Structure 1
Amino acid sequence: MQRENVVKSVSRALEIIALVSTKKGGLGVTEIANQIDINKSSVFRTLSTLAQYGYIEQDRETGKYKLGYKFLDVSSKLLESIDLRTEAKPFLQELEKMTNEVIHLVVYDQGEVVYIEKLEGTETLRTHSKVGKRAPMHCTSVGKAILAHLPEHDVIAILDRKGLPYHTDLTITSREAFLQELKEIRLRGFSLDLEENEYGITCIAAPVFDHLGKAVAAVSISGPTTRMTKNRLNQLGPIMIQTSKELSARLGYVQ
């Protein structure tokens, strides 16, 4: 019986927290009691207990209750504990299973991308990528996916510092054309590397956003151009966009 009461009290507290969180200006005891069908004395006792621990606070002017700052402390600890590679692994494995191609996860660092995960797929493909290696942003799908969502002044600073060096005959080396490419990527939701970094290899990528909405990483599928046809890229586009949304949500990003 005691255990059942404890579960009920926790359940009641969670219901109240969820309800209060929906109202920016807070809610009064009567409003809460009416909405979740709990008597006012029980609501008041629960609110008082939550307030003691900082999870709920009462507005001195309105008397209404709203979320307390303790939630910021708890959420920041949760965000700090999130490991990108761990969160991304199931998504990368699903892409590998679906395509049998090479799957990459990169992070943005000082104007370049760094490969932090690579799944080889089951098809044969020789690429220069390996975990720990750095790569340019302007000619890789992962780099372009991130650049397209960085603030414009950051993009310009990177281009000023790094330039648009030639890698293949298909590398975009015109700043005007490259900035236009980034606009198209933002509209499309995914980026392409059409043999711009390595001859014979085509890649498609999508950005990964953190809880602040910053593009901090990207996921890509890489394969030989003979397999990564225009038709296949069109099919993979929506899949990459969905992967981006779901993985970003795991990192705390709310659209």
Structure 2
Amino acid sequence: MASDQGNNQSVERAMAVLKVFLDGQPELRVSDVVRMTGLGTSTTSRLLATLESLEFVERDGISGLYRLGTAPITLGGVAVNHNPVHREARQLAQELAARLGLGANVAVRHGASLFYLLNFEGHLAPRSTVLTGQRKPLHATGLGKCLLLSLTAGERRELIPEDALHGFTPATLTTHAELDKELEVSERRGYATEVEELAHGRSCVAAPIRDRTGRIVAAISISGPLSTVALDRREDELARAAIEAADSVSVGLGYVGPRGGTTSLIPERSRV
């Protein structure tokens, strides 16, 4: 029992060391890791040496600074390649980004956050970094709103207390009353939008992805700079594209539509 506890503690400490590299600093000194983890210097040095031998971190030969190694990339690649949503959505999202020139993103819900499974950027929406693996708030994104449609109002309040509905810009929805109204509209028309709710100058259109049981398991979005997405002119066009893409992925996951009928791919705003 004592041995098991010691092994568990060693694993937890190693994970704590790896997690410090998620905070935005790509390279760290041993003293930085000590300060951020609260571990002792000798323990930290020993853990970094072990992680380096396993290629989870690597050390610059000149500066002596540590950064993440190649092993996490290998693990991440294996994980996404075995994810059924990623397998069904990857090629479709890539083609969508190329055709529209905008970003195409797919995410799932992990607890109270969304988790990006993949993203591609078109020539009109370039990024210098990838979104895959990042986590974002559910209430401030189009993808997150789609994922919240899988929960009841009570479940949403339990998952995200109102004081956790942080405002990132003046446009962010910061009360459940506001969020409920927004989600009612999103559910009725089959897609969600986000305009500068998480970051200034960005907007998106997103649609939910369902599995064979009809449960919402992921969402796909089309995103980019506010002026390029231009929802005031292109909402119907982009909503249709997002819904059709989500439908294709859903069919690949075994979804055949609600019992007694099929779901229209035409956004509500376009119906006459």
TM-score w.r.t. the length of structure 1 is 0.64
Contact 1:150 1:215 in 2 (8 A): no
Distance 1:126 1:199 in 2: 15
Q: Which residue number in structure 2 is paired with residue 150 of structure 1?
A: 151
- Deviation readout 1:229-250 (Å, 9 max, x if unpaired): 1111221111211222221111
| Cα distance change on mapping 1:120 and 1:82 into 2, 3 Å | closer
Is there any run of 5+ residues in structure 2 with no aligned partner, and where? 1-81, 258-272
Q: Which residue number in structure 2 is paired with residue 247 of structure 1?
A: 249
Distance 2:214 2:142 in 1: 20
Distance 2:86 2:256 in 1: 20
Q: In structure 2, what residue type is equivalent to 1:231?
A: R
Contact 2:85 2:253 in 1 (8 A): yes
| Cα distance change on mapping 1:126 and 1:170 into 2, 3 Å | farther
Contact 2:162 2:176 in 1 (8 A): no
- SS of residue in 1 equivalent to 2:124: coil
Is there any run of 5+ residues in structure 1 with no aligned partner, and where? 1-80
Q: Which residue number in structure 2 is paired with residue 134 of structure 1?
A: 135
| Cα distance change on mapping 1:124 and 1:252 into 2, 3 Å | closer
What value does the CA root-mean-square deviation take over the aligned residues?
A: 2.0
Q: Is 1:198 the counterpart of 2:219 in the alignment?
A: no
Contact 1:125 1:224 in 2 (8 A): no
Q: Which residue number in structure 2 is paired with residue 172 of structure 1?
A: 173
Q: Which residue number in structure 2 is paired with residue 63 of structure 1?
A: none
Q: Is 1:101 the counterpart of 2:107 in the alignment?
A: no
Q: How far did 1:150 drift?
A: 2.3
Q: Is 1:227 the counterpart of 2:220 in the alignment?
A: no
Q: How far did 1:161 drift?
A: 7.2
Q: How does 1:60-71 map to 2 (within 5 A)?
A: none
- SS of residue in 1 equivalent to 2:221: strand
Contact 2:147 2:218 in 1 (8 A): yes
Q: In structure 2, what residue type is equivalent to 1:215?
A: I
Paired residues in the alignment total 175
Distance 2:218 2:249 in 1: 10
Percentage of identical aligned residues: 30
- Deviation readout 1:142-187 (Å, 9 max, x if unpaired): 0001112323332221232772101011101122111010000000
Q: In structure 2, what residue type is equivalent to 1:122?
A: H
Contact 2:86 2:118 in 1 (8 A): yes
- Deviation readout 1:57-109 (Å, 9 max, x if unpaired): xxxxxxxxxxxxxxxxxxxxxxxx87221111122022112211111111111
Q: How far did 1:126 drift?
A: 4.3
Distance 2:152 2:128 in 1: 30
Q: Which residue number in structure 2 is paired with residue 187 of structure 1?
A: 188
Distance 2:192 2:129 in 1: 19
| Cα distance change on mapping 1:248 and 1:224 into 2, 3 Å | same
Contact 1:82 1:251 in 2 (8 A): no
* Larger CA deviation: 182-191 vs 243-252: 243-252
Distance 1:184 1:214 in 2: 19
| Cα distance change on mapping 1:149 and 1:231 into 2, 3 Å | farther
- SS of residue in 1 equivalent to 2:228: coil
Distance 2:208 2:182 in 1: 15
Q: How far did 1:125 drift?
A: 3.8
Q: Which residue number in structure 2 is paired with residue 12 of structure 1?
A: none
